[in-house]
Amino acid sequence: MRINGKTWKFGDHINTDLILPGPVMLLPFDEQPKYAFQANRPGWADEVAEGDVIVGGHNFGTGSGRPAARSLRELGITCIIAESINGLFFRNCANYGVFALECPGISKFIEEGDEIEVEFGQFTVRNKRTGEILQGTHFPDMIMEVMAAGGIYPMMERKGLLAEPNPETA
């Protein structure tokens, strides 16, 4: 799996409250994404484009299990690469079909706006501006399968693991 995209750079300890503010959770799902990062980057949700990539520092996505990854996916973010990613947020990325990769050194490797190529077969990141390649951290094939399927529910549907809803009990 290969992903190409323009980067948006964020710092260390970006928590889920910054990604998707708590009060936004009361809004309908389709309205939530437009509030992503409004506290620290007002207007960002209007600038991001389909296929863009977030690059973060240490401990990206710390905090609650709220569906911040889903809102980022709905905005068009295809991949998140960070120095380190909170475990719960990493799993939420997989469950919502957002590719995520821990890549030590990534913060100094790119400048915001750089075009990068992420090769998930090798877990590498290539900065297209400099031509340099950085090695990311490998993770289990099963997680990759979930991400590539578009998330846990699409993967389960394709495998026939979800029952059709019963109209009498729905």
The yes-or-no verdict on residue 2 having pLDDT over 90 is yes
Of 3.40.50.300, 3.30.565.10, 3.30.465.10, 3.20.19.10, the CATH number of 2-158 is 3.20.19.10
Comparing C-alpha atoms, which of 85, 107, 116, 111 is closest to residue 98? 85
Helices (H), ranges, 25-98: 44-47, 68-75, 87-95
pLDDT of amino acid 169: 65
* Dist. CA 11–CA 26, nearest whole Å: 27
**Beta strand 79-82 with 115-119: parallel, antiparallel or unpaired?**
unpaired
pTM to 2 decimal places? 0.92
pLDDT of amino acid 101: 98
